[in-house]
Amino acid sequence: MRTLTSISGTPSPRIGRASLGTTLRLIRTRRTAPSLDPVKALAARLTGAARVYASPGHSLDEAWYGELARLIHQRGGLDPAGARRHNAAILASGDRRTALATVGLPTLVLHGQADPLVTLAGGRATAATIPGAKLITLPGMGNDLPRPLWPSVTGAIRALADTADT
């Protein structure tokens, strides 16, 4: 590895946590109106969750969530145990600041200024922990990567990669 980029991250599950209100709104999105069409029901659930965490400064691409629902359904549906494993891993990872302080790679930390799941405090703490890390905050970005920001995000990552020794 020659460079490191962190997007919407935190060095500790205690830093930049979602508010209780955000967490409750996200939990409520799991309850969608019954539908005879499982793909439409899943699309409604995914879109509802995205309305909680996605970038308020950019329009929500509902067609994309519909396509995502179709693909998820095609491969067998959502695995609720997967989300539980993901959350357990976050909590079990603990505070990583001591280890991150030893990172000796050119590092970029990208974080949405409107991220409700991992608030900007997480990105700031990550950048402050890794020696020489550069923090770029993105106005209007939540806990997703809206298409209009792709050129900025990929450009910043490319610029960092170009600084690495070959």
27-84 residue pLDDT tens: 898 876 677 899 999 999 999 999 999 999 999 999 999 999 999 999 999 888 998 8
Domain that holds residue 120: 4-17+96-162
What is the number of alpha carbons within 13 Å of residue 112 lying toward its C-beta? 22
Q: Tell whether 113 and 66 lie within a shared domain.
A: no
Does 20 score more than 80 pLDDT?
Answer: yes
Q: Tell whether 109 and 142 lie within a shared domain.
A: yes
Supply the pTM of this predicted model: 0.89
Domain termination site, one of 89, 113, 142: 89
Q: Tell whether 8 and 62 lie within a shared domain.
A: no
The CATH code of the domain that includes 113 is: 3.40.50.1820
Beta pairing partners, 108:
5, 134
Count the helices and strands in the chain (H runs, E runs).
Answer: 7, 3
- Which strands make up the sheet holding 134-138, listed edge to edge? 4-7, 107-112, 134-138
* The total number of structural domains that make up the chain: 2
Confidence of residue 109 (pLDDT cuts 50, 70, 90): very high
